[in-house]
Amino acid sequence: MSVISLRLKEKDMGRLNELSKIEHKSKSTIARDLIEYGWEFLMLKKYKEGKLSLGSLSKKLDTSISETIDLLSELGIEAPIEYEDYLKGFEVLKG
């Protein structure tokens, strides 16, 4: 694991402290979580804007295509497959 040192505004440090207390986690853990959430948010935003394909998004999030589709659905972002594609996939599974 790498180490980084950075300066935070008082407001940001206050938020880190608050989340640390709420979540009962160390400030370092909270900071790592926030970086991960920020990464996911930005990648999802790029996908929604059409700047990333589903496959690229899946790779960036380090998840399978089905997990990525589930996440998109959970967040209310329309699934990138049409109903006909779903039916074709279902037929393939039936074999």
In sequence order, the 6+-apart residues with CB closer than 8 A to the CB of 35 are none
Domain extent at residue 16? 10-94
Pairwise CA distance, residues 19 & 70, whole Å? 27
Pairwise CA distance, residues 78 & 28, whole Å? 34
> What's the structural domain count of the chain?
1
78 belongs to a structural domain? yes
User: Average pLDDT of the chain?
Assistant: 88
pTM over 0.85: no
1 belongs to a structural domain? no
2 belongs to a structural domain? no
Closest to 37 (Cα-Cα) out of 47, 45, 25, 48: 45
Q: What is the pLDDT of residue 36?
A: 96
User: Which residues of the chain are under the pLDDT cut of 70?
Assistant: 79-90, 92-93, 95
Closest to 40 (Cα-Cα) out of 63, 21, 20: 63
Q: What is the pLDDT of residue 79?
A: 61
67 is written with which tokens?
Answer: 């997990």
3 belongs to a structural domain? no
